[in-house]
A = this chain, B = another copy of it.
Amino acid sequence: MNGTEIVLDKTDLSILRLMQENARMTNADLARELEMAPSAVLERVKKLEQKQVIVKYTTRISPVALGQTLLAFIAMKSSEGMGSNNTAKELAKIPEVQEVHHIAGEDCYMVKVRTADSASLMDLMRNKFSKIQSITSTRTTIVLETVKEEQQLVIPEK
């Protein structure tokens, strides 16, 4: 046994499904939807937060509205030993780096980066990535158009 195992019942899943769709839904509305007392629902939500099932409530902002029109995936190789992931941690510190994944296969990391334009991506590579010694190579793929981008999970009924 692990002690960390998390049991989620039907009600929890419904809460998660509703909250995933609209994080600003009021507790009262949630209660109405689930046909429960607001106090009971609140209790559950707090537990989901405590158990870290709910990681964060966040607002999705249009990148275009903020002039952040460049998105790129960068496959990177690193010279570090397989055990350590210092390279990844260094990459993760950079705000423009939205994702860092350790991947199977030829390359070591898959990195997702969002910046204003290609000039600022170049900046980033020159001033940040180049400072991370362990990176031995990068292969950048520019996104021309994004058709879908979300991280909604598929939440089972039960």
Listed in ascending order, the chain A residues whose CB lies under 8 Å from chain B are 6, 8, 16, 19-24, 51-63, 65-66, 68, 71, 73, 85, 88-89, 91-92, 95-105, 107, 110, 114, 141-156
* CB nearest to A120 among chain B residues: B154
What is the oligomeric copy number? 2
Q: Are A149 and B99 in contact (CB under 8 A)?
A: yes
Determine the chain B residues whose CB is within 8 A of the CB of A60 once the complex forms.
54-58, 151
Q: Is the CB of A23 within 8 A of B153?
A: no
CA distance A38 to B141 in the complex (A): 44
A158 CB to nearest B CB, Å? 12
A9 to chain B, nearest CB (A): 13
- Write the nearest CB–CB distance from A79 to chain B, whole angstroms: 17
Of the A-B pairs whose beta carbons lie under 8 Å apart in the complex, a sample of 9, sorted by A's number, is: A16-B61, A20-B59, A56-B60, A61-B155, A68-B153, A85-B145, A98-B151, A98-B152, A104-B144
